[in-house]
Amino acid sequence: MSTRKERLTVTVDPGYVEAGNNAVAEGRAESLSAWVNAALAEKIAREQRLAALAEAVAAYEKKHGVISLQELADQARADRETARVIRGGTRPARPKTRRRKSA
């Protein structure tokens, strides 16, 4: 952005200030102002991505019709079935044991 900075007074929740100060103390941010600037830049980028996605969906629906809830559910199911776990994963199933009948 611009090299010239603008002074701004804002009211911020204490937890956010603490998180920013912790980032500075841990060396993850140069200053609280730099940390806030980075957060604002991330917010702007996220909103721009969401706007682009909304435009893409609108263009698709204009050409092919409205995406139905059933189509969304079908796609979610297909995504789950073809997904590959990269990290973590499920725990191996426990072997089934038979319970002994009491006498």
Q: Where are the domains of the chain?
A: 14-82
DSSP SS3 for 16: helix
pLDDT in tens, 14-62: 999 999 999 999 999 999 999 999 999 999 999 999 999 999 999 999 9
Task: Report the predicted TM-score, pTM, of the whole model to 2 decimal places.
Answer: 0.66
| Coil vs helix vs strand at 92 | coil
Amino acid in the structure at residue 13: D
Record the tokens describing residue 84, joined without a space: 């590959």
